[in-house]
Amino acid sequence: MADEVYEVGARVSHDSFGLGRVLSVQGKNSAQVDFGNGAVHIPLPCRSMTAL
């Protein structure tokens, strides 16, 4: 199974945090995502998060 690719501005869904928007991506290592209550640094790959 290939790792998902996240782009700045893309909407995502996370099992714990809910719906969010990607603020920045650091290569294939991590993404900063705004879930409405603040930005969260998510290590990649992340099986709990999917691109919408």
pLDDT of residue 1: 44
Residue 35's CB: how many other CB atoms inside 10 A? 16
Residue 24, domain member (yes or no): yes
pLDDT tens digits, one per residue of 8-46: 999 999 999 999 999 999 988 999 999 999 999 999 999
Biggest CA–CA distance in the chain, Å, is 31
Residue 29, domain member (yes or no): yes
Bridge partner list, 19 = 13
Domain that holds residue 28: 11-46
pLDDT of residue 44: 95
For the entire predicted model, the pTM comes to 0.89
Number of domains in the chain: 1
Residue 2, domain member (yes or no): no
pLDDT of residue 2: 59
Residue 5, domain member (yes or no): no
- CA Rg, the chain, in Å? 10
pLDDT of residue 32: 98
Residue 27, domain member (yes or no): yes
pLDDT of residue 5: 87
